[in-house]
Amino acid sequence: MAALALIRTAGLTDADAVSALLRLSYSELLANSYDTGLLRVALPYMNKANLTLLVSGTYYVAETDRGIVVGCGGWTIEKPGSGEIVEGEAHIRHFAIHPEWTRRGIGTSILTRCIDEARSLGVRTLHCFSTLNAEPFYRAANFQTIRRIDVPMGQAIAFPAVLMQCQLA
Ligand SMILES: CC(C)(COP(=O)(O)OP(=O)(O)OC[C@H]1O[C@@H](n2cnc3c(N)ncnc32)[C@H](O)[C@@H]1OP(=O)(O)O)[C@@H](O)C(=O)NCCC(=O)NCCS
């Protein structure tokens, strides 16, 4: 089996690999936490790499020694959806790990990089719209659950999620 080689800043050339990873990771790893019918309509909104994130300089991929992308995730100062910016705050974005590479610390490595970088740039509070299945992962990284929320997708979908927060000070 391949070994993990590095975590590096993503770029536009990672678009196809990140889209494929999001598709695989979300469809397999969300299946125990969400209704099948909901996933069928919601996943098309979640399965595509966000090109703005890819070129943001604060989005990362984990790559094996064979050049396969098995993890992704990042952060932005813009709030997802509205684009709102609040001084001292930032947002965790689009984390996904390949189902065959979970529980090896890859998610934590990318998250730690995001936290360290955000803190060094003056961010004091990191927010996250966590999937229901990912709540224990963020809790393990000192995020606190604020409340359950519904994330709107398209005209008619309310996707259940968890608003979480981490104080970096
Ligand atoms: C959530 C996710 C990113 C975690 O990535 P990962 O690389 O497997 O996480 P790590 O190996 O760094 O886990 C660190 C700790 O988080 C907790 N954790 C992670 N996944 C967990 C799970 N499925 N159930 C319970 N605890 C979990 C554990 O405490 C774990 O430490 P341990 O393995 O020593 O017990 C991954 O499962 C995933 O991609 N899920 C599908 C996509 C998704 O929901 N993304 C989040 C979008 S907001």
Is pLDDT larger for residue 155 or for residue 164? 164
Q: How sure is the predictor about 158, in pLDDT bands with cuts at 50, 70 and 90?
A: very high
**CATH classification code of 4-167:** 3.40.630.30
Mean pLDDT value across the chain: 96
CB 162, CB 145: distance < 8 Å: yes
Q: Residue 72's beta-bridge partner residues? A: 61, 96
Q: Which atom of ligand 1 is nearest to the CA of 28?
A: 41
CA 107 to centroid of ligand 1, rounded, Å: 6
Give the pLDDT confidence of 14-34 residue by residue, as tens digits. 999 999 999 999 999 999 999
Q: Does residue 97 line the site of ligand 1, with CB under 6 A?
A: yes
Q: How sure is the predictor about 169, in pLDDT bands with cuts at 50, 70 and 90?
A: confident
**pTM score of the predicted model:** 0.97
Other C-beta atoms within 10 Å of 129: how many? 18
Q: Where are the beta strands (DSSP E) in 2-121?
A: 4-9, 59-64, 69-76, 89-97
Q: Does residue 106 line the site of ligand 1, with CB under 6 A?
A: yes
Question: Tokens 């397999």 map to which residue?
Answer: 28
DSSP secondary structure string for all residues of 93-111 = EEEEE-GGGTTSSHHHHHH
What are the φ and ψ backbone dihedral angles of 4, each rounded to 5 degrees? -70, 130
pLDDT for the residue 106: 96
Residue 130's Cα: distance from chain center in Å? 8
Does pLDDT of 81 surpass 90?
A: no
- Delimit the domains of the chain by residue range: 4-167
Looking at residues 117-124, what average pLDDT do you find? 97
Of 168, 107, 166, 169, give the one whose Cα is nearest residue 133: 107
Q: How sure is the predictor about 111, in pLDDT bands with cuts at 50, 70 and 90?
A: very high
Does pLDDT of 64 surpass 90?
A: yes
Question: Tokens 């000192």 map to which residue?
Answer: 142
Q: Which atom of ligand 1 is nearest to the CA of 73?
A: 3
pLDDT for the residue 15: 98
Q: Which atom of ligand 1 is nearest to the CA of 98?
A: 39
Does pLDDT of 141 surpass 90?
A: yes
SS3 12: helix
